[in-house]
Chain A
């Protein structure tokens, strides 16, 4: 029997075993699937994961450092302006009797595993419940929203990107305030659904989270790239490109809670010291680029 199966019908037997194993893995519940994936990742496929992770870090580290230094200096200058606007907005909200504005508190997490298939719908994070990360929390990157935490163990979490069919995100046109539902199309291309044909949406409009649902409002999502009208003329057909390229991510930030928009609540003491240093560096760089009075003449 064994000889016939693995001799005469070897190809079909191997295929049947592989298909059976695949279907068994697919049929497991999510918790067991995560456990099996973790066990395989630590044993059978450990060399693959080590090779891919180290190669990626080496290639990207230098380029990212350059980029971060430039972004940090620019952000520091931009922050000064935003703080003035924040105080004005807080005063207006207080006068109007609105609740105080709150700000996402970010927990940085490293991406320790990724699906290498063409449909990047999930990423593994190196932080878990011991870092206050639990299922349902929104996850952002420098450029904007990435997705949400689907599962969390003590040391790891599974991040579901916006490209997953499970994620339906309510977003808002930052210019006109029109709200729609973001749905994945391909790569970092999405469509904005449920927008009436008469609503005001234009190409180039930035989109942010609307705050309807579990995701806090105001997190950048993407930009409108095309606006048309559906065949029945009732809805707009809107194409969106997200700011985040899900395939190129290395670090993300989990929004663990919302805090008052104040320096003491947002930054730890060592972070505040770093902030002061960055501000001094940015001010010095800004001063050095200003032309002298004599040169202006």
Chain B
């Protein structure tokens, strides 16, 4: 994925999250498109770019909630770094692997976010993880993997790989 495509993906994700995604909510659960964008960029371009993208996307989201300025930036830069670092260890070319990575990224992100946001109140953290994060992870995984397939089709390739695949490199 080129730098321009990454920027467009991030812009599009932020715009859609503020416009279309609220209408797609199911019982208050919505997919997290900015996190999908960070994960796909990290898979495609590596840990350093993933970290910077996560930080900037998170900071853009934090502007709407200055009471916790830096919280989304922290959670998303950690996700960007982790996904970018681990991208060589799995086959990132299939929709299923994208879904698994996106689900895990959502849980990891919310774990960091909720730990600070809920001020280490474990009952609230686990309640939110169970009732909010897990359905969000599932929804994000489904929407994110569909988005990855769509981006692959737009790129004009049969199998667009966001990330290195040790299986493909054999």
**A and B held together in a complex:** yes
Residue interface bits B53-77, CB-to-A below 8 A is 1, else 0: 0110011111111111111111001
Whether a CB of chain B sits under 8 angstroms from the CB of A145 is: no
Interface positions, chain B 39-91, Cβ under 8 Å from A, are 46-48, 51-52, 54-55, 58-74, 77-78, 81, 84-85
In the complex, what distance in Å separates the CA atom of A33 from the CA atom of B71?
12
Interface positions, chain A 263-278, Cβ under 8 Å from B, are none
What's the least CB distance linking A255 to chain B, in Å? 21
In the complex, what distance in Å separates the CA atom of A46 from the CA atom of B63?
11
What's the least CB distance linking B15 to chain A, in Å? 5
Q: Are B84 and A45 in contact (CB under 8 A)?
A: no
- Which applies to chain B's interface (DSSP): helix, strand, loop or mixed? helix
Whether a CB of chain B sits under 8 angstroms from the CB of A186 is: yes
Whether a CB of chain A sits under 8 angstroms from the CB of B169 is: no
In the complex, what distance in Å separates the CA atom of A22 from the CA atom of B113?
12
Contact partner, B64, options A51, A114, A188, Cβ 8 Å: A114
Whether a CB of chain A sits under 8 angstroms from the CB of B18 is: yes
Interface residue tally on B, bucketed by range: 35 or more
Contact partner, A186, options B66, B78, B128, Cβ 8 Å: B128
Q: Can you sample 14 A-B contacts with CB below 8 Å?
A: A11-B47, A14-B47, A15-B51, A15-B78, A18-B51, A18-B77, A22-B74, A25-B73, A26-B74, A37-B69, A115-B63, A117-B72, A118-B132, A122-B65
Known: A59-B19, A187-B27. 15 other contacts (CB 8 A): A11-B48, A18-B55, A21-B55, A22-B77, A24-B70, A26-B116, A36-B66, A45-B59, A48-B14, A113-B63, A115-B64, A115-B65, A189-B131, A247-B22, A247-B30
**Residues of chain A whose beta carbon lies under 8 Å from any beta carbon of chain B:** 10-11, 14-15, 18-19, 21-26, 28, 30, 33-34, 36-38, 40-41, 45, 47-49, 51-53, 55-56, 59, 113-119, 121-124, 150, 158, 160, 165, 185-189, 245, 247-248
